[in-house]
Homo-oligomer: A and B are copies of this chain.
Amino acid sequence: MQINSIRDLVVAARSRRRELGLSQAELAARIGVSRQWVSAFEGGRPRAEFGLVIRLLDALDLRFELLDGESERDSPRRGSVDLDAMLSDYRDA
């Protein structure tokens, strides 16, 4: 899954936590942050620390891969609806 905003990550992390059957408190303990941090993060805190996010991923057994971005940035067919862009705009609004 491509991560273009913190909201993308929030959605993925929350569903992953549920998948693993972890409560916010349990996850917080794994990460080494307060339960409130997890709650705020999943609520979409826009300025969370990068280092803590890395530890969150580790606790959820996820990882970041850094890739070149130019590839399929956009090849929208003429006249078609760009669903990704619409969703992105919706998220950022």
Q: Which residues of A pack against B, CB within 8 Å?
A: 1-6, 8-9, 12, 46-51, 53-54, 57-58, 60-71, 79-81
Contacts and interface: CB of A to CB of B under 8 A. Distances in A.
A61 B66 contact: no
Contacts of A81: 66-68
23 contacts: A1-B65, A2-B63, A3-B54, A3-B63, A4-B54, A4-B58, A6-B50, A6-B51, A6-B54, A47-B49, A48-B49, A48-B50, A49-B49, A49-B50, A50-B53, A57-B66, A61-B68, A62-B69, A64-B66, A66-B81, A68-B80, A68-B81, A71-B79
A67 B79 contact: yes
A50 B54 CA distance: 10
